[in-house]
């Protein structure tokens, strides 16, 4: 008698274990699978046939280098994921939900919903922590550490303070004399994914104000024991986008562009400017830079008529540059 063949339940558990093994490694020999499952090679062959009946294309090779291998099929069968794989998949799906590829966001959300339906309760809480704590603008961002994202997402969900080390402000982000990154204490509110990076939108307890932190610059991230009551907060994604596109710069500018907002958004990265519709066929563009000539040049090259709304000295600068360009285009007498 085969070891472990104690009824339908044992058979089902064994077949699922076999499926997990086949998904984990490209090829297994019959004796290897039998040893892992605690059964005979004959039982392995029967269980392989059960998987084939369920639609899993399990190929069997003979001779040296042969063995059992799970191949591609006509349809996508269910996958078996361990805890870490399931959480990492949820992180990737959430990143895809904020992506810029047409249709990918909706597909990622549908896949995340299906994953949520089949997860054990202990893992469903982890996925809910991410789903309820992530917003986005734009897409195509660089990856972030899933463990850090999960830690921050749990803290957002559970409303507990978070501590971490963060580089001091400044163009070069130089460490202060005699020390490294500064310890920060925050009340985490939302994770926000931009078209380039992940950010934490939170209330900084030491600065007594809302702050945005780049997740890839955070180290030694750990939840604290203190819980907090959520404050009345700005809309997270809009606040972070405005900060990334303009608030961090010394000079900021607003333009009224004579083109639909969707058209202009397709021309400007979400992290470079905030674009808001302003009536039919017009939009407002907010951006910033160390020198406003750079912003002015980018808006000019969009190819649309526009007006400078703010600051007043930028409108004067437009006149100066117009005279210079006019002179450059006038042939010498």
> What pLDDT sits at residue 116?
64
Lowest model confidence (mean pLDDT) among 1-10, 48-57, 193-202, 224-233 = 1-10
In this predicted structure, what is the pLDDT of residue 57? 85
> How far apart are alpha carbons 287 and 293 in whole angstroms?
12
Q: Would you state the pLDDT for residue 195? A: 67
Contact predicate 13/50, CB 8 Å = no
Determine the pLDDT at residue 165. Answer: 95
Position with higher pLDDT, 186 vs 23: 186
Helix (H) or strand (E) holding 310: strand 306-310
Higher-pLDDT residue of 132, 27: 27
Average pLDDT over residues 167-196: 74
pLDDT digits (tens, 9 = 90+) for 95-149: 555 444 444 555 665 666 667 666 777 777 776 666 666 676 665 555 567 678 7
The answer for residues whose C-beta is within 8 angstroms of residue 114's C-beta and 6 or more apart is none
Mean pLDDT for the stretch of residues 192-199: 79
Look at residue 1 and tell me whether its pLDDT is greater than 50. Answer: no
More confident residue, 243 or 140: 243
pTM: 0.56
Average pLDDT of span 33-46: 91
Residue 238 pLDDT: 85
User: 175 pLDDT exceeds 90?
Assistant: no
Band the pLDDT of 2: cuts 50, 70, 90.
very low
Task: Count CA atoms within 13 Å of residue 16 on its CB side.
Answer: 11
User: DSSP 3-state assignment of 201?
Assistant: strand
> Is 258:282 a contact under the CB 8 Å cutoff?
yes
Q: How far apart, in Å, are the Cα atoms of 305 and each of 38, 158, 186, 226, 259?
A: 75, 49, 43, 53, 8
Q: Give the C-alpha separation, 287 to 302, whole Å.
A: 14
Q: What is the mean pLDDT of residues 204-227?
A: 91
**What's the average model confidence in pLDDT over 53-68?**
79
Mean pLDDT (whole number) for 157-161? 88
pLDDT band at residue 284 under the 50/70/90 scheme: very high
229 by DSSP, 3-state: which?
coil
Confidence of residue 295 (pLDDT cuts 50, 70, 90): confident
């Amino acid at each position: 008698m085969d070891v472990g063949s104690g009824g339908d339940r044992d058979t089902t558990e064994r077949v699922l274990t076999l499926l997990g093994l086949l998904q984990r490694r490209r090829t297994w020999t019959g004796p290897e699978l039998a040893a892992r499952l605690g059964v005979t090679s004959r039982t392995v062959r029967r269980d392989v046939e059960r998987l084939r009946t369920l639609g899993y294309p399990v190929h069997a090779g003979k001779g040296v280098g042969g063995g059992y291998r799970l191949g591609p099929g006509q349809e996508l069968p269910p996958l078996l994921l361990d805890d870490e794989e399931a959480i990492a998949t949820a992180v990737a799906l959430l990143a895809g939900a904020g992506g810029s590829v047409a249709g990918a966001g909706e597909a990622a959300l549908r896949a995340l919903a299906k994953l949520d339906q089949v997860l054990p309760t202990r893992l469903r809480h982890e996925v809910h922590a991410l789903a309820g704590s992530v917003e986005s603008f734009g897409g195509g961002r660089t990856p972030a550490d899933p463990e850090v994202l999960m830690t921050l997402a749990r803290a957002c969900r559970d409303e507990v303070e978070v501590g971490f080390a963060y580089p001091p402000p400044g163009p070069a982000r130089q460490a202060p004399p005699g020390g490294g990154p500064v310890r920060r204490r925050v009340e985490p509110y939302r994770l926000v994914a931009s078209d380039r990076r992940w950010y934490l939108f939170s209330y900084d307890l030491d600065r007594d104000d809302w702050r945005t932190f780049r997740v890839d610059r955070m180290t030694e991230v750990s939840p604290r024991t203190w819980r907090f009551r959520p404050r009345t907060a700005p809309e997270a994604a809009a606040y972070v986008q405005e900060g990334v596109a303009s608030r961090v710069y010394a000079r900021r500018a607003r333009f009224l562009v004579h083109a639909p907002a969707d058209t202009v958004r397709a021309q400007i990265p979400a992290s470079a400017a905030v674009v808001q519709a302003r009536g039919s066929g017009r939009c407002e563009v907010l951006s910033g830079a160390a020198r406003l000539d750079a912003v002015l040049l980018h808006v000019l090259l969009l190819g649309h008529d526009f007006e400078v709304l703010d600051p007043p000295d930028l409108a004067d600068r437009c006149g100066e540059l117009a005279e210079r360009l006019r002179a450059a285009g006038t042939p010498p007498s």
